[in-house]
Structure 1
Amino acid sequence: MRIVIAGGHGKIAQLLERQLSTAGHDPVGIVRNTDHVADLEKVGARALVLDLESTDVATLAGHLDGADAVVFAAGGGGSSGAERKLTIDRDGAILLADAAEAAGVSRYVLVSAMHTDDFDAKRAELPAADDDVFQVYLRAKSEADANVRARDGLDWTIVRPGTLTDDPATGTIAVGSRLDSGEISRADVADVIATSLIEGTAVKTQFEVTAGEIPIGDALSTIKY
């Protein structure tokens, strides 16, 4: 499968790219910095240099021609301000969904975050104070998730992980529509995405995921939205 990954230089994305490449698939990571191309090549991915904040649907759709799936793993980053939470975490995810539909790519996996729908609407309005940026982030993720869920033309999967760590993969998780707060390694999140894509599971499902005791393949094959 040819799988195009927005946010291709992120930690989860590079773990995913390596896993997909090792399994014989063709990962393509979208990056905006040419300095990141070599890093993607090291993990077995091809790089597509494109800035999601300055492109349009038609241009992005042209790059998705022939893809089997897309993954949105991009984000404004922990140091970015409130506005970029909306232009990347929300608008970038919606742009990728628009482009996927335009290109006829039905499979879409969106990396979101736990408890995004709990955002404080008043505190999440711009302009936000520095201590309210997290509320804008939750709002951005929640609104992106809702937009993607509403698309009948996409076979979407929305993954809402808990607090991310750099611990090694365990291969086991806990999943549910709503979980208590918890941690999960980025490696396990990448495995969740890869398993869903390769095995065709968790389609039309949105779920929260943390570290747990259920093998990833078993968890994804049984979860219901």
Structure 2
Amino acid sequence: MKKVFVVGAHGHVGKQMVEKLGKQGYATLAGVRNENQFDEYQDMENVEPTLFDLTSSPEDMTTAFKQSGAEAIVFSAGSGGATGDDMTLSIDLDGAIKTMIAANNAGIKRYVMVSAAGADNRSFWPNSGLPGYYVAKHYADAYLKNSGLNYTILRPTALTNNAETGKIVLTSEADSKMDIPRADVANSVVEILGDDNTVNNIYEITSGDKNISDVL
């Protein structure tokens, strides 16, 4: 696999992800909302910004994916914590599902979802501060598992801007604070795309003391 389409490439994780993928030799399409964001990618190796609208139709997304020549889709988009539940449903749920429909229609079978730790834990949602977000992530993940795509779901804990460590652990094995640098989430996606053994698996991760490649 050498060509990857990243949906949500202008996010805090997505931007680091496309840069890391490009450095690893992937021809990386950075899906962004606005042409004004294109200049931010001009110095990144093997990265090409492209317009992608998560509010568009599955048919338009299918056309975009077909024209891209991508062999894998990574969904790393989010409406952001400042928006209401209506935008969260539009982007994090409906937008995500439309990309899955489009990926299938475009014949792109590999799909990686950046989700969130706790998406399968209903008891966590009410006190999370973002219950609508977790509902959206839960049902987007559920749709993906039944989509027929060769999926991997990555569920990181709370995101920080700390320096990357290259070390993670599954949350089920963690005994430390539940957070993880965004850079290590990006590193994990790069690792996932390079390892077919991650197909049809779900990983809930946080900072830890194990090499990413060993955990995944």
Task: Compute the TM-score of the two structures, normalised by the length of structure 1.
Answer: 0.87
* 1:192 pairs with one of 170, 188, 193: 188
Q: Which residue is equivalent to 1:50?
A: 52
C-alpha displacement at 1:41, in angstroms?
A: 2.5
Cα distance in 2 for residues equivalent to 1:86 and 1:18:
28
Q: Can you list the C-alpha shifts for 1:114-171, whole angstroms capped at 9, x where unaligned? A: 1123347997xxxxxxx9971111100001000001122x110000000001111111
Which position in structure 1 is the counterpart of 2:166?
171
**Aligned match of 2:118:** 115
Pairwise CA distance, 1:101:
0.4
Within the candidate set 71, 91, 94, 1:91 is matched to: 94
Identity of aligned residues (%): 33
Q: Is the 8 A contact 2:118 2:124 kept in 1?
A: no
Instruction: Give unpaired runs (5+ residues) of structure 2.
Output: none
What is aligned with 1:127? none
1:128 equivalent in structure 2: none
Give the Cα–Cα distance (whole angstroms) in 1 for the partners of residues 141 and 135 of structure 2: 10
Larger mean Cα displacement after TM superposition, 108-117 or 178-187: 178-187
Q: Distance in 2 between matches of 1:42 and 1:195?
A: 23
1:155 aligns with 2:158: no
Matching residue's letter, 2:27: D
**Whole-Å Cα distance in 1 between the matches of residues 80 and 162 of structure 2?**
20
**Residues 171 and 206, structure 2, Cα contact 8 Å, conserved in 1:** no
Alpha-carbon RMSD:
2.1
1:171-202 Cα offsets, whole Å, 9 max, x none, are: 11102568676000000000100011023331
> What is the alpha-carbon distance in structure 2 between the residues aligned to residue 118 and residue 179 of structure 1?
17
Give the TM-score normalised by structure 2.
0.90
Residues 21 and 122 (structure 1), Cα distance of their counterparts in 2 relative to 1, 3 Å cut: closer
Q: Which residue of 2 aligns with 1:37?
A: 38
2:88 partner SS: helix
| Equivalent position SS for 2:163 | coil
Matches within 5 A, 1:9-28: 9-28=10-29
Query: What is the alpha-carbon distance in structure 1 between the residues aligned to residue 174 and residue 77 of structure 2?
Result: 23
1:192 is matched by which residue type in structure 2? S
Segments of structure 1 that go 5 or more residues without pairing to the other structure are: 124-130, 221-225
- Pair 1:132–1:201, CA change in 2 (3 A): closer
Contact 1:178 1:208 in 2 (8 A): no
The CA deviation string for residues 63-118 of structure 1, in whole angstroms up to 9 with x for no partner, is 21221100000000121111111110111111111110001101100011111233
SS at match of 2:143: helix
Structure 1 pair 120–59 and aligned structure 2 pair: CA distance change class (3 A): same
Tell me if the contact between 1:159 and 1:207 (Cα under 8 Å) persists in the aligned partners: yes
Cα distance between partner residues in 1 of 2:167 and 2:124: 34
Residue 50 (structure 1) shift = 2.4
Question: Which piece of structure 1 moves more, 15-24 or 44-53?
Answer: 44-53
Assess, with a 3 A threshold, how the Cα gap between structure 1 residues 111 and 179 changes in structure 2: closer, same or farther: farther
Distance 1:79 1:118 in 2: 23
